[in-house]
Structure 1
Amino acid sequence: MSQTVDRALSILPLLAEGPASLAEVATRLDVHKSTALRLLRTLHEHGMVYRQDDQRYRLGSRLFALAQEALENLDVRGIAHPHLLALNEKTGHTVHLAVYEDGEVIYIDKVDSRYPVRMYSRIGRPVAITVAAVAKLLLADLPESERRVLAENLQYPRYTAKSVTDAAAFLDELTRARELGWASDLGGHEESINCVAAPIRGADGRVTAACSISAPNVVVTAEELLKLRPLILRTAEAISREMSGRPTPTPTAADEEEEETV
């Protein structure tokens, strides 16, 4: 990277801390005031910084507009799909990706299991919102007041003996999912199907999607499926990092050993 570009980019995180004067910018960059002024003027011309009436500089509106546009154009399905394929390859189980839209939790991607037994879920169809593991994670991230209103207005079908049947129990489930950072559905929708899910977070730290692995009892028990929780959590974290543009950490020996045992 050229020195000029490097210095110009260094101004942005500096101003993210708050408005700064020309002298403060020059000091932080360890450059002459004339150099700092040239860089600030260039950024100002492109709307990246703004000079206030008190002559201090702050981040410009164009920078925020670009950031918002970039976030809106992130394709979570496109980013997540290779990770979902890898998870399916490691486990052999059905993998789902879901989002919360207009009061419903919708599957937006699915990778089928390798065994003959197939799940009836479909891309584009809403999930059983009161029992699905992905739904618990997506709704748990809503503000408390919004969670309560939503819970009180839901219907609670008794799919199985393990289904959640009222708002209070459902809110307890959401609190548990929020505290644990993962969720499960162990026979709550279909007695023979178990599922464990993990949240996918955007650059702002909010849950934007959730991914899960599901399997029938005839293939693995609920206890065996729950042992795969580290894999689904790492998958969700990898997708979250890519969504946020964060670097991927180097796998530890423990991670590699754990994956070899799956």
Structure 2
Amino acid sequence: MSQTVDRALSILPLLAEGPADLGQVAERLGVHKSTALRLLRTLHEHGMVYRQSDQRYRLGARLIALAQEAMENLDIREIAHPHLVRLNESCGHTVHLAVYEDDEVLYIDKVESRYPVRMYSRIGKPVALTVAAVAKLLLADLPEAERRALAGTLEYPLYTARSTPDAPAFLEELARVREQGWAVDLGGHEESINCIAAPVRGADGRVVAAMSVSAPNVVVTAEELLTLLPQLRRTADAVSGEYSGRTTAKEPA
């Protein structure tokens, strides 16, 4: 990368911290003010930075619009799928990816278990909002007022004795999930099926998807499944890093 491009790009994270004047930019870059001014003018011409009335510079609307457009065009399923496959190969159990859209939590990807007993879930199928681990993670990330309003509109079918019985219990569970950063469904939807879930987060820290590992009791106990939680969380964190741009995908060996 040329020195000029490198210096210009170095200005952007500086201004992301807040507006800065010409002297501050020059000092941070370690260049003369004339050089800093030339770089700022070029960025300004392209809408990457904006000069305020107090002569300080801030990030420009064009840059923000490009970032938003890039985020909207990211395919979380495409990014996550190789990670789901590797997790499945490691643990052997069913792995799901789910998102919250139009008041439903939907599976958008699935890698089947290697064991003969298979999950009935399928891509595009909505999950049970009040019990599914992925739903708890996605709904726990909603603003409090929205969580409370949603909880008041839901029905609470008792699929099993471990199902969430009512809105107060559901809100208590979402608060716990929000605090600990992961969720479980231990026989809440089906007595014989257990599930653990971890969040995939965007650059702003909000939960954009939930990744889960599910298995029937005949294959693995709930306690044994919970031992996979650190591995699941590391996988979800890796997807988060790639999705948010903090890390890049590793090249295959």
TM-score, length of structure 1 as denominator length:
0.93
In structure 2, C-alpha distance between the alignment counterparts of 1:120 and 1:245, rounded to whole Å: 34
In structure 2, C-alpha distance between the alignment counterparts of 1:13 and 1:46, rounded to whole Å: 17
User: Residue 61 of structure 2 corresponds to which residue in structure 1?
Assistant: 61
Runs of 4+ in 1 over 4 A off after TM superposition: none
Deviation at 1:245, TM superposition (A): 1.4
User: Residue 211 of structure 2 corresponds to which residue in structure 1?
Assistant: 211
Unaligned runs of 5+ in 1: 249-262
In structure 2, C-alpha distance between the alignment counterparts of 1:57 and 1:246, rounded to whole Å: 25
Q: What letter corresponds to residue 136 of structure 2 in structure 1?
A: K
Q: What letter corresponds to residue 21 of structure 1 in structure 2?
A: D
User: Residue 73 of structure 1 corresponds to which residue in structure 2?
Assistant: 73
SS of the aligned residue for 2:107 comes to strand
Q: Where in structure 2 are the equivalents of 1:172-251 lying within 5 Å?
A: 172-247=172-247
In structure 2, C-alpha distance between the alignment counterparts of 1:24 and 1:40, rounded to whole Å: 12
User: Residue 52 of structure 1 corresponds to which residue in structure 2?
Assistant: 52
User: Residue 107 of structure 1 corresponds to which residue in structure 2?
Assistant: 107
Q: What letter corresponds to residue 24 of structure 2 in structure 1?
A: E
Pick which of 12-21 and 145-154 moved more.
12-21
Q: CA RMSD in A?
A: 1.2
Deviation track 1:32-71 (CA, whole Å, cap 9, x = no partner) reads 1211111011101111011122222111111100110111
Deviation at 1:18, TM superposition (A): 2.0
In structure 2, C-alpha distance between the alignment counterparts of 1:56 and 1:230, rounded to whole Å: 45
SS of the aligned residue for 2:215 comes to strand
User: Residue 253 of structure 1 corresponds to which residue in structure 2?
Assistant: none
User: Residue 90 of structure 1 corresponds to which residue in structure 2?
Assistant: 90
Deviation at 1:23, TM superposition (A): 2.2
Unaligned runs of 5+ in 2: 249-253
User: Residue 127 of structure 1 corresponds to which residue in structure 2?
Assistant: 127
SS of the aligned residue for 1:50 comes to strand
Between Structure 1 and Structure 2, how many residues are aligned?
Answer: 249
Deviation at 1:21, TM superposition (A): 1.9
In structure 1, C-alpha distance between the alignment counterparts of 2:23 and 2:91, rounded to whole Å: 57
Q: What letter corresponds to residue 94 of structure 1 in structure 2?
A: T
In structure 2, C-alpha distance between the alignment counterparts of 1:118 and 1:28, rounded to whole Å: 57
Pick which of 112-121 and 17-26 moved more.
17-26
Deviation at 1:241, TM superposition (A): 0.6
User: Residue 151 of structure 2 corresponds to which residue in structure 1?
Assistant: 151
